[in-house]
Chains A and B, each alone.
Chain A
């Protein structure tokens, strides 16, 4: 047990300094985002910059407290904190205040608390505790499934609010899980499912099926390097298609081309399966299984999309996936954001000199689109500084996490770094038009108490764990 005074000397001050710089940058830009010439009393509780100032004071207090608390407290109460986070998410669905059609907030007078922000912290604790279980085999499917359940539970509760953006953030926990030994194919399946989901909504079914079939053949070749089987495999359904097509032409049956392909593919697959049994080609079955699973997945996406969503929800999904642009809705914000950032040029227009962000062209200017203000007023130079600060912070955190001796601390560190990484990439990526619009805050910079406090606690609890890393072994 270290002495009280000593703990401060063991804190990683580089991280803490970056944190402070980001807080200052954040406050200046929230001020700039809401600044108008006619409106500048410095202390006015109705303004966002004054509120943000108070939020920052409380955040510093929280950071301070997080350092003073004993490490044992964190490890001992980890599951309790997780449960608390889940309860808060469940409670907000009942007792929460509805803002912008989502029930995501507990209301306390002039400020609101968003439990989904704190849920990330709770999941850090729950998962870290779970992965530090004695003798846990981290590379089994079982472990991954249990950990997945711990992540999916809060995600579902957040999706029910509904707040898709905040739910997506929880995918960041796949990174620490991967680090601890999660089978890599789960990452690959996740990525493939995401791509297929997107394709299912933009391409027609026939194209996707044909694409999948060709990809399976290519996959088989890359795996086995045998031309013969691939050619036979492609030839069989093609031959069936030729026959079906010929019958249709001659008989003037008017069978749709979709049905023609379905018939030839299904019969073709049966023949291939039969041949595979005959010649004992087990690996063909693996490929066929993946193909069938992908096709069913594609169809179920379409089915769910067509039957369970109303036209408004469909529109939201399509806009989110950039399949549809509405002139003044979400796509509009992104265009405006790009205009603002792009107009900043190399040096920027100068503090408070931005015209685009003052024009109230971007409604979420001080929260999700705060990077607009940075990009416009501080230009490429300023944006680069912010990017570098984040990169320094995140790589530093990864490096520190790797140095931990206990799995609890290492997992916690990886989780914090990964959540920050996802937030930064998605938020800035969205503001500059690299990613679809997903409304999540930029850590320490965006306006808002809940996210600031939750990020602060995540960071400083890890700094506290790191300060005691030599005492923790497991």
Chain B
């Protein structure tokens, strides 16, 4: 009746085989294999995590920037505690009796049998004293850790810092345990997985007094820690430190990039702080102090501050004008201390008139670029000014503005290039035109651009039309660089259109005749640059300069921002010029210019806004 009833045999055999396998393995580990046996004397194990040293960080020339130093955590195992001389222990460790009580209480709450932290990160000297006395304090033991050691007093925004992992991370990533260290910002965070290495463990036999009796099961369950991988950054430490020195009395930033590769040569955000402040036991206190500082030293201006680009954006409009054919290199516009446009008189400064495109960039003529921008927006090839504006915006976005560039540094912001909706909301649909938004012609108005984007912009001009996403790491031990940091992104402007603009930028620094940034001139190297001024409603305007050098086959492109620095030529251009000279020749031939910059006093000073100041 049931043709399959004989199948029960197979099922019974299967089940029996399963039980036999369990029996066999149980017999093996409980009876035969003696490595699991724990004698009555030493009846518990202690698992000691072996912490790996984090990977080292080098600069592009192989100079060591970040290494490690030894420190020791004192741990306590509540179940092994016996009465001890609290006062003596506290004295040795430099803590109060109260703090010791609290630490022991919280250790009890965490677990009776698993060790908790008692005091963390005692120094090598303290450790030496403690170690001789440790036998008097059953239940306490010491675990070696490594802390960061910095070989520079700056670069803190770039490097980031390392701290204890918090609960939310532990929940998400099973690798981390309470008390582990993790990169919290900068390169330390971005390359955490490479830098951290791999924890190991050691299972020790411990007797009832908490004394280590040896390795459990001959080290069968031990695993060595794997040291973190070393990073070779793109940073030129000497240049970085020089930039920090120049900016010591100013607020602002320097971002320098090697144009062909997108490698970040220096990234200074001023004021900064000494990275050593955020190491070890002093970290929490110092961090709170830095966070409260009104100068915001923790704020990474280079990646997170947004300013209007000011006159540096005239280059952008010139390129779009050429590409759209609404101006030519020979187009001339007249300007007599300004022009009448859209029923308003827009001021300019004094310069020869009329100017062609090259001269307009060299002298940063406002009128020329108001008219260029008007021509772009009123271009007959588009249905209406909204369409033309959208086309303009697409060109701008192709330069990496208005979106996160995607560098390897965390917390990078995308800035702002208003979309059509923004103006529709503000003025109403079709209720705005070239004249309503004319200030975009000279880079003022609603634009928000970060210093990193601005440096990338300088690199695009230097490359005549492409960029590689800026990045701070050149090489990770045993790994190749991500592909996105090797790819070229081409902007929507033909590379042939860049040369007339570059002529203008050369003129601005080198003349002949007038130029807005002649102060930045170097005798043997052709620097191409453009000044800018970001309008600041709260005080004196911010000074901006973008540049690259040398003109042919450029090696460095950069943006410099000096907050409340006034005209671009006052401080930003000299800083840029000194940085370029330092990088290309490794010498400073103009001590007077360096002195001019170092004598600035803009850190606390916020100059009142000057009335009637005209764009430079």
Contact = CB atoms under 8 A, between A and B. Distances in A.
Interface of A: 36, 38, 101, 138-139, 175, 178-181, 312, 315-316, 325-330, 332, 335, 338-339, 341-346, 355-356, 358-361, 375, 379-380, 383-384, 387, 390-391, 394-395, 398, 402, 414, 421, 425, 428-429, 432-434
Given A379-B30, A425-B22, A434-B25, A328 B49 contact: yes
B37 A179 contact: no
A151 to B, nearest CB: 17
Nearest to B220: A335
Closest 4 CB pairs of A and B: A342-B36, A359-B113, A380-B30, A342-B29
A397 to B, nearest CB: 10
Contacts of B14: 175
A360 B173 CA distance: 21
A359 B8 contact: no
Interface residues of B, number: 50
Interface of B: 3-5, 7-8, 10-12, 14-15, 18-19, 21-23, 25-27, 29-31, 33, 35-38, 43-45, 47, 49, 111-114, 171-175, 177, 198-201, 203, 216-217, 221, 223
Contacts of A341: 26, 29-30, 36
A429 B33 CA distance: 17
Nearest to B198: A327
B36 A360 contact: no
B4 A434 contact: no
Contact of A181 (B3, B35, B113, B199): B3
A432 B3 contact: no
A109 B262 CA distance: 57
Contacts of B31: 345-346, 380
Contact of B112 (A36, A391, A429): A36
Contacts of A361: 45, 47, 113-114
A398 B11 contact: yes
B609 to A, nearest CB: 51
B30 A345 contact: yes
Contact of A387 (B12, B26, B35, B38): B26
30 contacts: A101-B171, A179-B8, A181-B3, A326-B174, A329-B174, A338-B29, A339-B36, A339-B45, A342-B30, A343-B37, A344-B30, A345-B31, A346-B31, A355-B38, A359-B44, A359-B45, A375-B30, A380-B27, A383-B30, A387-B22, A387-B23, A390-B19, A394-B15, A398-B15, A425-B19, A425-B22, A428-B26, A432-B26, A432-B29, A434-B25
B12 A342 contact: no
A391 B22 CA distance: 11
Contacts of B114: 359-361
A328 B221 contact: no
Contact of B113 (A360, A375, A390, A421): A360
Contact of A398 (B8, B29, B199): B8
Given A343-B36, A429-B21, A434-B22, A327 B200 contact: yes
Given A359-B113, A421-B18, A434-B21, A179 B36 contact: no
A342 B26 CA distance: 8
Given A178-B7, A358-B113, A338 B15 contact: no
B256 to A, nearest CB: 33
Prevailing SS type, chain A contact patch: helix
Contacts of A316: 174
Contact of A342 (B23, B35, B203): B35
B138 to A, nearest CB: 17
Contacts of A138: 4
A380 B33 CA distance: 13
B11 A355 contact: no
B15 A421 contact: yes
A139 B2 CA distance: 12
Contacts of A181: 3-4
Contacts of A332: 201
B573 to A, nearest CB: 46
Contacts of B47: 328, 361
B20 to A, nearest CB: 10
Nearest to A432: B25
A398 B7 CA distance: 12
Contact of B25 (A325, A391, A395, A433): A433
Contacts of B10: 178
Contacts of A335: 221
A121 B4 CA distance: 24
A360 B177 contact: no
Given A360-B113, A375-B30, A395-B12, A343 B22 contact: no
B19 A391 contact: yes
Given A346-B30, A432-B29, A425 B18 contact: yes
Contacts of A398: 8, 11-12, 15
Given A327-B49, A355-B43, A355-B44, A402 B25 contact: no
Contacts of A394: 15
B195 to A, nearest CB: 16
Residue of A101, A139, A327 with most chain B CB atoms under a 10 A cut-off: A327
A395 B15 contact: yes
A326 B180 CA distance: 15
Nearest to B113: A359
Residue of A36, A329, A360 with most chain B CB atoms under a 10 A cut-off: A360
Given A175-B11, A327-B200, A346-B30, 15 more contacts: A139-B4, A179-B11, A181-B3, A312-B173, A327-B198, A329-B175, A338-B29, A355-B38, A359-B44, A375-B26, A375-B30, A380-B31, A387-B22, A425-B18, A432-B22
B111 A360 contact: yes
Contacts of A342: 29-30, 33, 35-37
A345 B31 CA distance: 6
A288 B200 CA distance: 47
A281 B23 CA distance: 48
Residue of B5, B26, B30, B36 with most chain A CB atoms under a 10 A cut-off: B30
A384 B47 CA distance: 30
Contacts of B203: 339
B26 A338 contact: no
Nearest to B77: A359
A153 to B, nearest CB: 25
A124 B37 CA distance: 43
A335 B8 CA distance: 36
A472 B204 CA distance: 62
B43 to A, nearest CB: 5
B12 to A, nearest CB: 6
A428 B36 contact: no
Contacts of A360: 111-114
B200 to A, nearest CB: 6
A428 B20 CA distance: 12
Contacts of A384: 23, 26
A402 B45 contact: no
A398 B11 CA distance: 9
A326 B175 contact: yes
A341 B38 CA distance: 11
Contact of A380 (B8, B26, B173): B26
Residue of B36, B199, B217 with most chain A CB atoms under a 10 A cut-off: B36
Residue of B177, B216, B221 with most chain A CB atoms under a 10 A cut-off: B221
Contact of B201 (A36, A101, A328, A356): A328
Nearest to B171: A101
Given A180-B4, A327-B201, A346-B31, A339 B15 contact: no
Contacts of A339: 36, 38, 45, 203, 216-217, 221
Contacts of B217: 339
Contacts of A36: 112
A178 B66 CA distance: 64
A355 B21 CA distance: 27
Contact of A179 (B4, B33, B113, B175): B4
Contacts of A343: 36-38
Contacts of A432: 22, 25-26, 29
Contact of A429 (B8, B22, B43, B113): B22
